[in-house]
Amino acid sequence: MEALVASAVGILTAAGIFLILRRRTFPVILGLSLITYAVNVFLFATGRLALNAPPVLNKYKDVAYTDPLPQALVLTAIVISFGMTAVIVMISLSAYLSSKDDHIDMTAQDSVDAAGEDA
Amino acid sequence: MNHWIVAPIVLPAILAPFSIMVLRYHLDLQRIFSVAGVVALLGIALTITAQASGGDIQVYELGDWPAPFGIVMVLDRMSAMMVLLTALLALPIVLYAIASGWDDRGKHFHALFHFQLMGVCGAFLTGDAFNLFVFFEVLLIASYGLMTHGGGAVRLKAGVQYVAYNLLGSTLFLFALGTIYGVTGTLNMADIATRVAEIPAEDTALLRVGAVLLLLVFCIKAAVLPLHFWLPASYANAPMPVAALFAIMTKVGAYSILRMFTLAFGPDVAATEGLAGEWLQPAALVTLAVGTIGILGSKHIARMVAFCAIASMGTLLIAISQFTPDATAAALYYVFHSTLATALLFLVADLVMARRGGAIAPTPPMPQSGLVSALFFVGAIAMAGMPPLSGFIGKLLVLDASRDASDATMVWAVILISSFVTIIGLARAGTLIFWKSHDTQAVPIEMPAENEAAPEPVAPEPQPGLAFTAVFGAVAGLILLTLFAGPALEYTSQTAEQLFAPENYISAVLGGAE
């Protein structure tokens, strides 16, 4: 169980970092999504891994329970990363449509434009 | 409970949606409400600063949940001071944005502006590490909108980089918080501090990893080398009033370093002893050096000011990284100064760019050249740290506080040489922009015939008088900071004392259940 979760976090992060280092915006956004998945699984595991245990205390009998706080944190993290991904998709789309170019780096031409934009 | 504590967050949180939903089609009303909101925020900030200056640490429990379980807002001298700085900065910027017509070049400027203020104030006031993350996201998501305000291909491309970089930073923040939660089982800052002190020394490996990750995240926000790469392109391509507002954003990173690494991972905590200072000091020195070289090498005034922002963060973090009360007091004074000076220079850069373009090269004379160049001169003096303005006092305090440090020679050399190079860089820019404008025959200017990347037509401002009033407001802030350096320094010294006595903070938060 631990090995499975740990390797899932590791592989997702590695794949995410590989994709973030690409030159075009689409793989970069995919890479960012993969890393946010990795961090969600990681946050989930910070409350210790427990099987078949609800995140609520049972006051009638003594049963196993799991820490509810990481689940709340993951929920917040999912909402935020979902919103942020939507924002970056929109900004990169408009950047692509206005410059006809989906490279994430600023090209030499961009720098020229920026330096001389209103010279 | 003192309800004023939560007011700097609630006020913009109400005003921003109100501006979107009700005032959507009425720019005039948006402007009125926006300015009124900022003035009210300033009033609130003054009130809570007066309350905090007595030295009591006040706690606001959201939903009345007691401290380690619910989220708390904490008001101490440092958070009050930073909220006051935010409000003081916001007022000239919002006036300038209205006067220069920047708020009319895209939609929802004022709503995004207030969301940004909400995030910044929240980050300063919160006493919970995860809540700090949430407020970081609030201020970031507003900043994404502000940064790409007005559109244009180059700005949008810079925006994509900015968002991608910060998204990665947020993810790293979550990893850091997860690690710390995994070790300590809590996210309340005061509670983290008590738990960290109790963990036996042999079990702290993971905790140190968490602390270093956290430091990395804050260094990304504070644009410390080698994590500063997002800053020049995004600040230089953002609308200038927005870049001026962003001057407070790097300070949020510096504030968080100061807060977390005095409270939870302080200098006398065995597990993380000297961790922050040891890594931060060299990075801060290199940041200052590279920022200064950037000032010298920039070909565009906006980019030059962006490097000024990096250099001032370097000076600030040199002071912070010593983690002594004296150096911290100097750093807090310098925070005030450098935020106002950076914002002033960004606003002046916008005045220049609206009149003649931002290239640091001779062009024909521009209208109101004398006034604008005088303002640039004031900003440059402040930024370079020459007398008589507050930059001089700030740098003097930083130098004085680092006299007893182990590598004082190095610190002094870097600060003094970089100040000198900054003077040269700013003088070069001023000369080329303002003085050489009369012999432009030598260098023919190439007018870009159909440059679709040029985002805004060069147009004089609708209300130049108000724009200059706003810029002079920032100048007045610097002058007041110089004149009242004594009281200001007394306040920051008391703040530093409070920061280096974290047990008061902890007992105020955890013992304040009644």
B456 with A118: Cβ contact below 8 A: yes
- Its sign, for the CA torsion B417, B423, B428, B429, is positive
- Closest-CA distance, B314 to chain A, in angstroms, reads 25
For residue A110, the chain B residues in CB contact (below 8 A) are 153-154, 157, 453
pLDDT at B93: 93
Q: If DSSP codes are grouped into helix, strand and coil, which group holds residue A62?
A: coil
Alpha helices in B148-229 (DSSP H): 153-184, 189-198, 205-222
Closest residue by Cα to residue B371 from B383, B360, B379: B379
Contact with chain B for residue A46, Cβ under 8 A: yes
For residue B161, the chain A residues in CB contact (below 8 A) are 104-106
Contact with chain A for residue B209, Cβ under 8 A: no
Domains of chain A with CATH codes: 2-55+64-102 (1.10.287)
Residues 93-152 of B with CB under 8 A from A: 130, 134, 137, 141, 144, 148, 151-152
- Closest-CA distance, A60 to chain B, in angstroms, reads 23
b/e sequence B107-117, b meaning 16+ C-beta within 10 Å: ebbbbbbbbbb
pLDDT at A52: 81
pLDDT at B460: 52
B448 with A116: Cβ contact below 8 A: yes
* Strand partners of residue B339: none
Residues 334-373 of B with CB under 8 A from A: 353, 357-359, 361, 363
Contact with chain A for residue B500, Cβ under 8 A: no
Do B148 and B242 contact (CB within 8 A), yes or no?
no
Distances (CA, A) of B324 to B181, B185, B196, B240: 28, 29, 21, 35
Q: CA-based diameter of chain B, in Å?
A: 76
Contact with chain A for residue B443, Cβ under 8 A: no
Distance in angstroms (rounded) separating the CA atoms of residues A112 and B501:
52
Q: If DSSP codes are grouped into helix, strand and coil, which group holds residue B128?
A: strand
B358 with A88: Cβ contact below 8 A: no
pLDDT at B463: 67
CB pairs under 8 A between A and B: 144
pLDDT at B449: 47
Distance in angstroms (rounded) separating the CA atoms of residues B220 and B169:
7
pLDDT at A101: 81
B144 with A91: Cβ contact below 8 A: yes
pLDDT lower than 70: segments of chain A = 107-119
For residue A20, the chain B residues in CB contact (below 8 A) are 164, 168
pLDDT digits (tens, 9 = 90+) for B66-92: 878 888 999 999 999 999 999 999 999
pLDDT lower than 50: segments of chain B = 442, 444, 447-458, 513-514
Nearest residue, CB atoms, A77 vs list B141, B174, B445: B174
Instruction: Enter the DSSP assignment of B6.
Output: G
Contact with chain B for residue A95, Cβ under 8 A: yes
Distance in angstroms (rounded) separating the CA atoms of residues B483 and B263:
32
- Its sign, for the CA torsion A67, A71, A77, A81, is positive
pLDDT at A108: 58
Nearest residue, CB atoms, B141 vs list A39, A84, A95: A84
Q: If DSSP codes are grouped into helix, strand and coil, which group holds residue B73?
A: strand
Contacts of A112 (CB under 8 A, 6+ apart): none
pLDDT at A110: 58
User: What does B296-308 look like in DSSP terms, one character per residue?
Assistant: HH-SBHHHHHHHH
Determine how β-strand B72-75 pairs with β-strand B58-61: antiparallel
Among chain A residues, CA nearest to B356 = A119
A94 with B130: Cβ contact below 8 A: no
Among chain B residues, CA nearest to A72 = B130
Q: Which helix (H) or strand (E) is B61 found in, with range?
A: strand B58-61
pLDDT at B514: 40
Among chain A residues, CA nearest to B149 = A91
Structure tokens at A72: 């709340």
Contacts of B239 (CB under 8 A, 6+ apart): B97, B102, B105, B146, B147, B149, B150, B350
Contact with chain B for residue A8, Cβ under 8 A: no
B171 with A20: Cβ contact below 8 A: no
Length of chain B as a residue count: 514
pLDDT at B455: 46
Q: If DSSP codes are grouped into helix, strand and coil, which group holds residue B406?
A: coil
ipTM of the complex: 0.90
Distance in angstroms (rounded) separating the CA atoms of residues B366 and B178:
55
